[in-house]
Structure 1
Amino acid sequence: MSRRQFYVTVLITSCIFIFSQCFRKAPEKVNTDVRGEQFAGAATCISCHKQIYDAYVATGHYNTSAPASEKSIKGPFTGDNIFSYSNGTRVVMEARDSGLFQAAYTDSTLQEVHRFDITMGSGRKAQSFLYWQADRYFQLPLSYFVPAHSWANSPGFPPSYPKFDRMIPSTCFGCHSSAVGIKEVHMEGRRLSESFEKNQLVYGIDCERCHGPAADHVAFHREHPQEKTAMHMTRVKMLKNQQRLDMCALCHSGLGTPQKPAFDYKPGDALSDYFFPDFTRPTRAADLDVHGKQYQLFTASRCFVKSDEMNCSSCHNPHNNERDQLATFSRRCMACHQPAGPAFCKLKSLSASVLEKNCIDCHMPVLPSGSITLLTDGQTRATPDSMRTHLITVYPEEVKKILARFK
């Protein structure tokens, strides 16, 4: 082969290679989930589970955290947007061109201002808000108390001045998000200090918090669309009853002392591997606060004790927003407490047809929390938040209220 033929051959080969690269299939999008490549992200569930996904996005779990915006924040930024402290400082909720802010003023002098960055809470009871500064998250001094339609001093904050320096640890994100990017963890004296990666947050409780990492599941079913059995995915119905209870108790059993981060929890894990035993809790279930102790209250209930398979899903469909649908929950009570059976309500002053429509207000009433109280503007005493107790029993005073309503 002559030198000229050699160069022509090399040129042609190079052109073929270059053109082949141009027409190659574009590489698939790199998985950027904070949790790692084994997670697919909730958006991938839509193609096969759209009906479930569309229903789930309306639930409190899904909306328990969100980027702060006028849509996600329930409180107003005009009109009733000022909170006054006893030291004369006012905090004003301000909508500026650059974002939403809580700004503290003494007289007309600006003392401190911080942006609403994250909304914590679905907005049914109350919302608190976080701002980002120097690789850390801080809680803003004012929350929004939905039942009172009022801005309120954040729970546990001083009533005399606005406190902007309460740092928020990853444990708070453990039950209000599905992942948070932790940059560094170290000890500062006797205190554990954490720093975070900005904007690395999976908001809300997403599908993979309860069903486990889904990347292999998604890849398999995209390659085998005819396969109807869920592969490479935790099927909650196949778990033992205590494992199913532990999934909910991870976030609904109060503030325990963690052994492992809540984000490490996978469906089927034992809750006892994640929290140290709590030897300080009251011995009587009736003494437990209604806020955050749903697991302890529920498992102390006679309904639970006398059942072998009762768990949270016996009453709750976690994929649907069923808040305030008392008739729906009451129908589930009827599975064991049928009107013609010996376990039905013994109250004789109301008909069975009336009683079976609302078991909940008598046997699981809404009670004030001793743990979470909020001070609204102009109040001298904080108002307790309220929660529906999960200790299923007879509450005579609540029964009287129900009967009075009917009279």
Structure 2
Amino acid sequence: MNKRQILFMLCIAVAVGLLSRCSNRSAAAADPRGNAFADAASCAQCHKAVYDSYASTAHAHSSAVAGGGTVKGNFNAPGNVFHFAGRADVVMEKQGEELFQKVMVDGKEAARYPFDVVFGSGRKAQTFLYWRNEQYFQLPISWFVPADGWANSPGFPADHPKFDRVIPSTCFGCHSSMVKVREEVKGVTITEKFAKREMIAGIDCQRCHGPAAAHVDFHTENPAAKEPHHITLMDTLSRIQRLDACALCHSGLKPLYKPAFTFKPGDKLSDFIIPTVPFPQKPTQLDVHGNQMQLLAASQCFLQSKTMNCSSCHNPHVTERTNMQTFSQRCMTCHEPESPQFCKHTGKPSAVLQQNCIDCHMPALPSGSITLLANRKESPTPDSVRTHLIAVYEELVKKMD
């Protein structure tokens, strides 16, 4: 083979390499967040078990494009009607693949609004958005699992349906992985404009692990490499960095310097959240809804530990929420039986106490901020949320005796 043939073969090899790399990039570019993000399905190529188990979690279903398979409510009469105290009813209606909330006044249709986006996995509740004139609005009727029926959305009037509550991108920032939005500036007014139903629903792998296109490219080209490259490993982050990653969405709704979508694992939460009026000084004054980080941080378990973080108790890749024994066994890593740190309650055998620490020390408490008025009820029903203030609740102790 002469020099010209060798040079030609080298050029072919380089071109093939570049095309291969471009092919990987084109798959990554399919993600609307940009070239740094991998196609979501690519995670399953190497992490199928984790990918499949995560697909059933509440995080993965925190939002969805509305449809027959994602909206949990009842669309069959008579369970599809919500009656207001005034003259109006709202009827949940299906027309082919489309879903609507139809307003009826004195038996006549006055208006109808489509279900476009779902917020909530349906474990406790779902609320819904409709799109109009490049904006999203919350529908007045939500699905409330404890009542097994439709309910007036939190904060909405009890005597008539309200359809003008604008939903900003900050809500999508914790309920989805991306929403297509642009800002329209007129004078000093900034209005967000959304593309209809263009979003990455749920919280996907890259919201917590960072953009993964380079990671996928590297391991596609180096299948024998076992050490992860170009991806953030939670185990390598400091305690505060791990806490910040969860607190972005689990410390209440706050004004942001930058969109929540731009937060990457390892970033400082203080670089995103605008300081506001201080929270109540007493942890017991914090609402159980949305303040998980503040409640946990006020707990003695957290204060006396140098390492405790959210993943000390939660495995975000699987659904464990009903398994109190699993969570209780994690408590035992610090509160071993027969040790001074074990439960002081003497009314039950040690073996029984080990089965469920959670219902006693982290009870489900009514939220003051999230209440829903169920159909034909005069007073709203609060959503019950498990408190993250780990403590001794004397009333529960008395019930155990």
The answer, yes or no, to whether TM exceeds 0.5 is yes
Aligned to 2:346: 348
Aligned pair partner of 2:250 in 246, 249, 252? 252
User: Whole-Å Cα distance in 1 between the matches of residues 292 and 186 of structure 2?
Assistant: 33
Following superposition, the deviation at residue 98 of structure 1 comes to 4.9
Mapping of residues 165-184 of structure 1, within 5 Å:
165-184=164-183
Q: Which residue of 2 aligns with 1:44?
A: 42
- Once the two structures are TM-superposed, the CA of residue 133 in structure 1 deviates from its matched residue by 1.3
| CA-based RMSD | 1.5
CA distance in 1, matches of 2:343, 2:256: 41
Deviation of the 1:47 alpha carbon: 0.6
Are 1:68 and 1:118, in contact at CA under 8 Å, matched by a contact in 2? yes
Q: TM-score w.r.t. structure 2 length?
A: 0.92
The separation in 2 between residues aligned to 1:355 and 1:39, in whole angstroms, is 46
Note the 1:110-149 alignment, pairs <5 A. 110-149=109-148
Aligned to 1:335: 333
- Once the 2 structures are TM-superposed, how far is the Cα of residue 363 of structure 1 from its aligned partner? 0.4
**Alpha-carbon distance, 1:183 to partner:** 2.6
Q: TM-score, normalised by structure 1?
A: 0.90
- 1:105 is displaced (CA, Å) by 0.7
Deviation of 1:257 (Å): 1.9
User: Which residue does 1:294 correspond to in 2?
Assistant: 292
Mapped contact 2:65–2:197 kept (Cα < 8 A): no
Q: Alignment partner of 1:348: what SS?
A: coil
Output the CA distance in 2 between the equivalents of 1:224 and 1:400: 60
Determine which of 188, 199, 202 is the counterpart of 1:201: 199
Q: Which amino acid aligns with 2:212?
A: A
Shift of 1:83: 0.4
The alpha-carbon distance between structure 1 residues 77 and 270, as it changes in their structure 2 partners (threshold 3 A), is same
Contact 2:125 2:145 in 1 (8 A): yes
Alignment of 1:4-403 (within 5 A): 28=23, 29=26, 31-79=29-77, 80-186=79-185, 192-403=190-401
**1:107-128 deviations in whole A, cap 9, x for unaligned?**
2221110111111101111100
Q: Encode CA deviations 1:336-365: one digit per residue, 9 max, x unaligned.
A: 001111100000110000000000011000
Residue deviations 1:152-175, cap 9 Å, x none?
000011111111111110000000
Residues in 1 aligned to 2:286 and 2:317: alpha-carbon distance in whole angstroms = 28
- Deviation (angstroms), 1:76: 0.5
CA distance in 1: counterparts of 2:251 and 2:299, whole angstroms: 15
User: Considering only CA atoms, is the larger Rg found in Structure 1 or Structure 2?
Assistant: 1
Unaligned runs of 5+ in 2: 1-18
Between the aligned residues of both structures, percent identity stands at: 53
Q: Is the 8 A contact 1:74 1:146 kept in 2?
A: no
Instruction: Check the 8 A contact 1:129/1:140 in 2, yes or no.
Output: yes
| 5+ residue gaps, structure 1 | 1-23
Contact 1:243-1:270 at 8 Å conserved across structures = yes
Matched positions, count: 378
1:307 to partner: Cα distance: 0.2
Q: Post-superposition shift, 1:402?
A: 3.7
CA 238–297 in structure 1, closer or farther in 2 if over 3 Å, else same: same
